[in-house]
Structures are given as C-alpha cells and as structure tokens.
Amino acid sequence: MNITVVCDVLGEETNGTTLAAMNLIRFLQSQKHNVKILCADVTKKGISNYYVVPTLSLWPFDKIVEKNNVVLAKPKDDIIEEALEGADHVHIMLPFALGRRTLKLAKQKGLPVSAGFHAQAENLSCHVRLQNDRVVNKLIYKNFYNHFYKYVDAIHYPTQFIRDDFEKKLKIKTNGYVISNGVNDYISKKQVEKPEELKDKFVILSTGRYSVEKAQWQLIEAIKYSKYKDRIKLILAGQGPLEKKFIRLAKRMKVDTFFGVYERSEMVNVINYCDLYVHAAKYELEGIACLEAISCGKMVLVCDSKNSATPNFVIDDKCKFKPNKPKELAKVIDYWIEHKEERKKYEDLYLQKASEFNQHECMKKMEQMMFDLQQKR
C-alpha cells in the first residue's frame, strides 16, 4: 500500500508520540509499504518521503510547547496535497491542526483514514492547572470528537482504558481498535553491571517528561521518608517544563538524584541495572516507559490512579501506591528493598508478561487495521 502518516508532533525520539509514530513508520517500511510522512520537523527537509510543513505558533502558549520539547505543525494545503498524492490509506497520529486539515482533504479524495488516540485530555488541561476539572476535560474530548474523530474510519486506542474513558465521557461508541504501541525487541532483559559509583546504591529509576501529570515529585518526597534514603540513588530520566522545580525539590529533600536524558541504547542499560522501576504518573494513556521496564524483567511499582492505564499492567496490589501519598510510597519502596527474594520472583512474573507487548506483533495488528479499512471501501 501507499500510506501517508500524519504527525502534528515529530522530532527527537524522546516523547511517546514521536516514538509511536516512528515505530509504526519503520514497521510499515519493513513490510515494503511505501510510506510518506507529513510533519513539521525541519531536520527532515530534503529527506525522501518526508513532507515538511511550517511550524505552528500558539502564542501566548509557545513557551509551554517549547518547554515540552515539541514542535507543532501548521497546515499548508499544497504540501498536504503532495503527501496525499497516490495514497491508499492515511493514518493521523493526533487530532490537532495538521491532522484535522489533512483529514478534510483526504475525505474529499475518498481515502480511508485511521487515527491514533495519543493525547489524553489531561495532557492539555494540566498546562492551565485544570487537569482535575471534569467539565474542562469533557469539553476537550468533545472538541476532539466533533472536529476530528467523528469523521475518521477507525480509531487506534493504545489501551482499553483510554477507549473506555473517551467513550464513557462522551456516551458514544466508536469504531475502535485497541492495540498497544508495543516495546521494541532490543529493549529486553540482559546482564548489565552497575557503574562503579553506583555499586553500593539501591538504584530506583523513573522515566518520563518532567511535568504535572507525570508527578515525579511523589517519588522524590517518598525517598525522603524512606528508611533507606542514604542508600538510594534516584534516576529521573527525562526533560520537561518542571525540571528546575524538581531539581530544587530533590536538593531541599536531600535526595541523591540524577536528572537528564539518555540515548536509547544507554537507556536500556540503565533499565537493566536499576533495582526498581517506579511509575509515578497520575495521568497516563498507556505508559510505554513502564512497559519497557516490564520487558526488561524489572520490579515495577505504579501509581494507582483512576486516570491512568498503567495500574492494569502490574502483577497485583503489592505493586501499587496511592496518588499524592509519598509516605505510603516510601513504605512500599522499603518493603521491596527488604524483600529481595520476593522481588526476584516478581521480576520473573513481569518478564513473562513482556510478550504481551511485543512491538512486531502490535504493529502487525496496526497493519491489519489498515487492510480492514481497505476491504471496506
């Protein structure tokens, strides 16, 4: 097939949406499909099969967008038309400006269109501190549906959680496919020695954007209350708008913390040598970072938030902690530090779950979704 993939957000592979897009693109190319990519990533200009539109300004919110290390796309019809020329199928990653305009033009041409559900309402409302406002979040979903998802032929939901959340809030049923974004085969369990300076440390890892919804503050504060605080090295792998705030918090709490970004190959090593992975996010559509830890057979602790998909991935309630309760999280961490043999058993159980998130199998399902839509034409 000739497939056009539309990416309102595409750049460095440090955020979940870009990773999901690039993994899908690479798989489709490996299956000999001809893939055109429509985006605003200026580094892709001149590269074959990339069609680059201008960047979109959302003044006065440009600084917020920049701090999240993303660039948004501005629709330009002549470039969109070029990217759609000869297409058999269009897949749109996000319900934003470029995606919406491309959807309209694709429908005028009679093309089948699928769309990913990669933006949770709270991902937007948190920037104006309204992530807990049910009315605001419902209005965001109404906007998504009435101006975008209502008109696509199929919706790709990465988890059943986000499908249920979207359909329940709007009291609708959609033509949806629940397919995990998956974890790449190279992210797997292997023997990696801790760096010399960490040999005597209990290493706790958490990865993700430094932001309100990822709630890394819970983990920093929890370690302050841990009986083993002086033994713990916390690695917060990521970047984002709250970096300075979290650095100040860690310093004030006297929690030994590393802040920064790793290359993908190095990140796999860090996951493998850490002793415990903690996912503190209160709002999570899927949580690929957590799935990557599971795929490496790590002991995983997850925030038991009703607005997150990740609690569905853990073995049992002993791997959960309540949101906004750092003292409770400290007790959970201490328990697993003290019960090393039980931790090893749980690590084996997590490793057994890894096959559920095999990326190749997940991407085959994405390809089948596109074939299904072709057959319905």
Nearest to 255 by CA among 247, 263, 245: 247
CA dist 130 and 8 (Å) reads 23
Task: Report the pLDDT averaged over residues 262-287.
Answer: 95
Q: Order of strands, edge to edge, in the sheet holding 232-237?
A: 257-260, 232-237, 202-207, 276-279, 300-303, 320-321
Same domain, 81 and 165: yes
Peptide bond into 112 cis (omega under 30): no
**Secondary-structure percent of the chain, ordered helix, strand, coil, rounded to 5:** 50, 15, 35
Minimum mean pLDDT among 37-41, 246-250, 263-267, 359-363: which range? 263-267
The residues that bridge with 269 in the sheet, in sequence order, are none
Q: Which of the four pLDDT bands, split at 50, 70 and 90, describes residue 158?
A: very high
Same domain, 214 and 324: yes
The distance of Cα 12 from the centroid of its chain, to the nearest Å, equals 14
Could you tell me the residue range of the domain that residue 62 belongs to? 2-182+358-375
Q: Which two tokens stand for residue 105?
A: 């033009």
Question: Which pLDDT score, from 0 to 100, does residue 41 have?
Answer: 92
Residue-wise DSSP of 192-210 = -PPPGGGTTSEEEEEES-S
Same domain, 276 and 201: yes
Give the number of domains in the chain.
2
Is the predicted pLDDT of residue 132 greater than 80, yes or no?
Answer: no
Same domain, 351 and 244: yes
CA dist 181 and 37 (Å) reads 18
Residue 161 in contact with residue 309, Cβ under 8 Å?
yes
Q: Which two tokens stand for residue 123?
A: 């991902």
The CA-based angle 366-177-314, given to 5 degrees, is 95
Nearest to 141 by CA among 103, 164, 167: 167
Q: Which two tokens stand for residue 312?
A: 């569905």
> Does some domain include residue 217?
yes
> Does some domain include residue 131?
yes
Residue 136, number of CB atoms within 10 A of its CB: 15
Cα dihedral sign, 149-151-156-162: positive
Task: Report the pLDDT averaged over residues 167-194.
Answer: 96
CATH number at residue 154: 3.40.50.2000
Same domain, 129 and 218: no
Question: Which pLDDT score, from 0 to 100, does residue 319 have?
Answer: 97
Question: Which pLDDT score, from 0 to 100, does residue 65 have?
Answer: 54
> Does some domain include residue 262?
yes
Same domain, 52 and 12: yes
Is the predicted pLDDT of residue 281 greater than 90, yes or no?
Answer: yes
Which pLDDT tens digit goes with each residue over 305-349?
999 999 999 999 999 999 999 999 999 999 999 999 999 999 999
Same domain, 259 and 337: yes
> Does some domain include residue 187?
no
> Does some domain include residue 136?
yes
CA dist 31 and 162 (Å) reads 28
> Does some domain include residue 191?
no
User: Which secondary-structure segment (H or E) carries 99?
Assistant: helix 97-108
What is the end-to-end Cα distance of the chain in Å, rounded? 14
Same domain, 149 and 279: no
Same domain, 128 and 203: no
Output the CA–CA distances (angstroms, integers) from residue 1 to 7, 21, 31, 80, 202, in the order listed. Answer: 19, 17, 10, 18, 50
Same domain, 277 and 368: no
Output the CA–CA distances (angstroms, integers) from residue 3 to 20, 72, 113, 175, 374, in the order listed. Answer: 16, 21, 10, 20, 11
Task: Report the pLDDT averaged over residues 273-277.
Answer: 98
Which pLDDT tens digit goes with each residue over 73-99?
999 999 999 999 999 999 999 999 999
Q: Tokens 């008109």, residue?
A: 151
CA dist 214 and 291 (Å) reads 15
> Does some domain include residue 189?
no
Output the CA–CA distances (angstroms, integers) from residue 67 to 41, 63, 70, 95, 137, in the order listed. Answer: 16, 6, 8, 21, 22
Same domain, 311 and 333: yes
Q: Helix 288-295 vs helix 16-30: angle between axes, to the nearest 10 degrees? A: 60
Which pLDDT tens digit goes with each residue over 55-76?
987 665 556 556 556 678 999 9
Q: Kindly tell me the burial class for residue 124, based on how many C-beta atoms sit within 10 Å of its own C-beta (0-12, 13-18, 19 or more).
A: middle
> Does some domain include residue 270?
yes
Same domain, 371 and 239: no
